[in-house]
Amino acid sequence: MRIPVIIDTDPGVDDTLAILLALASPELEVLAIIISFGNTDIESSYLNILKLYKAIAKHLEQHPEDHARFPGYSSSTKIILAKGADHPLKGDLHSAQYFHGRDGLTDITHRHPDLDIKDIPQTHSYLHFANKTGVEVAAELIASRPTRSVTYLVLGPMTNLAQLMRRHGDVIRSRIGRIVCMGGALDVPGNTSPVAEFNFFADPYAVRELLTPTSPEMGLPLERFLLLPLDLTTPHELPFPYYRDKVDAAFESTKKPSRSQDKPPLVHFTSAFLERTREIMIEFGKDAMELHDIVALWCAIENLPSPDDAVGAIPTLQPGWRATKRKFEVERVGELTRGMLVVDRRDDPGAYAPGVNRAEVQAELDRHHFHHTGDYESTAVPAQVEVERSDQTEPLPDNPAGIACVVETPGSRALVKLMMERIWGTQGYAFDDMS
């Protein structure tokens, strides 16, 4: 059974690899790609899908034996490409061009003009250019498919999904199969600010409206929602030396740029934007790419929507995957904390006990060589400090259901193995030589 999926994305570096993996995954039937603002402006993001398709087309012209590797690309039904939101529900417009570049793909538009798209064609062999908004396209697709069959995958800001719920909330609540979202940072630092992950930073108002609404009938059906925060996605990495060893022996950096005549077109395409990504990541202290959006796509591949998803329960997951519920609110207007997830740790099994001096606890844990016992933080060895009485404090707005957050996957190496085989056709993966 193929999983019908709508991909809501702001195509930057990891989004592009995620879409390549989607097109190379026989488990998925990609119905539509809905473009959002985010990593760059919406027009540049739209062009990145055309650049991706151009690279695949050129690759298959030269390597027709690889057609079977991309079942989603050569599907008999064209994938719908539509534009969605170009700004957040409220607040200032922000982008992640500091990482993804002006064009969203580390400026390959200028560094590799052979990969650029000059003009948008009137028609396309494998894409249908929608004349409707992404919100309307998504609503019609979900309504036309069997109930609870479609997975909606959010790889960018949640703005399109918020607008979809505003206009077609009844359809989504009654018919959506699964919503998988990459976003937020619970117990780890942010990647856009010290406290915020970019997708939630870009439109925290949409996050609030969907996940912690003021009235229950306004939000998403949380029994069918899965969040993959930075806590989970960051440890999933593709080491660049490994990419060089397994995919592109000539891969280096912008100082030694990729040459199209030296390698297959698809490898040239990915190396062209990864060479600058590598330089940025080395500045951040690691010679590897974090696979944030790709982990979310992987989650959608491996976890079918389930009729057993019940109100108040965690969505059903396959062996090797695990989720736990967390309660939080998103900061929307803070001068320094926009997009921060404020976690209520007072009634959270993953948190320290209320009133604990965490520095003393950690020192005691280290002294006894204890390891953390919970999903996020330890509840061991409480060291009491003076705290306010419960009747002196105001609780966060109640969210009795909580948000299902994925805390375990089959592991980074399993994901890299899948990418190697499906995106680049590299066989004979050896686990032990991955550093």
Q: What is the pLDDT of residues 91-101, one digit of tens each?
A: 887 876 767 66
61 within 8 A of 181, measured Cβ to Cβ: no
Per-residue pLDDT at 65:
95
**Token reading at 145:** 């498919």
Q: Check residue 165 and give its pLDDT.
A: 96
pLDDT of 244-282, one tens digit each? 999 999 999 999 999 998 899 999 999 999 999 999 999
Give the C-alpha distances (Å, rounded to integers) separating 238 from 135, 165, 243, 320: 33, 35, 7, 20
Q: Quick: pLDDT tens for 29-39.
A: 999 999 999 88
Pair 280, 394: CB distance under 8 Å: no
Question: Are the C-beta atoms of residues 407 and 233 closer than 8 Å to each other?
Answer: no
Tens digits of per-residue pLDDT, 309-324?
888 789 999 999 999 9
Q: What is the mean pLDDT of the chain?
A: 87
Sheet holding 403-408, edge to edge: 127-129, 79-83, 28-35, 3-9, 151-154, 178-182, 225-228, 403-408, 322-326
**Cα distance between residue 386 and residue 31, in whole Å:** 56
Q: Where are the domains of the chain?
A: 3-335+398-424
434's CB contacts (< 8 A; 6+ apart) are 239, 242, 413, 416
pTM: 0.87
User: Does 378 have pLDDT greater than 90?
Assistant: no
Structure confidence at residue 1 (pLDDT) = 79
Say how many Å lie between the first and final Cα of the chain, rounded: 36
Helix axes 13-23, 42-62, angle to 10 degrees: 40
Beta carbons within 10 angstroms of residue 413's beta carbon:
14
CATH top-level class of 3-335+398-424: alpha beta
Q: Cα 280 vs. chain centroid, distance in angstroms?
A: 19
Residue 160, φ and ψ in degrees, nearest 5? -60, -45
- pLDDT at residue 352, rounded to an integer: 53
Q: Percentage of the chain surpassing pLDDT 70?
A: 83
> What is the identity of the amino acid at 55?
A
Q: In this predicted model, which residue has the larger pLDDT, 130 or 311?
A: 130
What does the pLDDT look like over 44-75, one tens digit per residue?
999 999 999 999 999 999 999 999 999 999 87
Instruction: Round to whole Å and give the CA distance between 403 and 98.
Output: 30
* Residue range 205-251, pLDDT digits in tens: 999 999 998 876 678 999 999 999 999 999 999 999 999 999 999 99
pLDDT in the model for residue 386 = 43
CA count, 13 A, side-chain hemisphere, 264: 19
For 139, 323, 359, the CA distances from 216, given in Å and listed in that order, are 21, 22, 38
Contact partners, residue 286, CB within 8 Å, separation at least 6:
237
Quickly state the pLDDT bin for 2 (edges 50, 70, 90).
very high
122-129: average pLDDT = 94
Are the CB atoms for 178 and 152 separated by under 8 Å?
Answer: yes
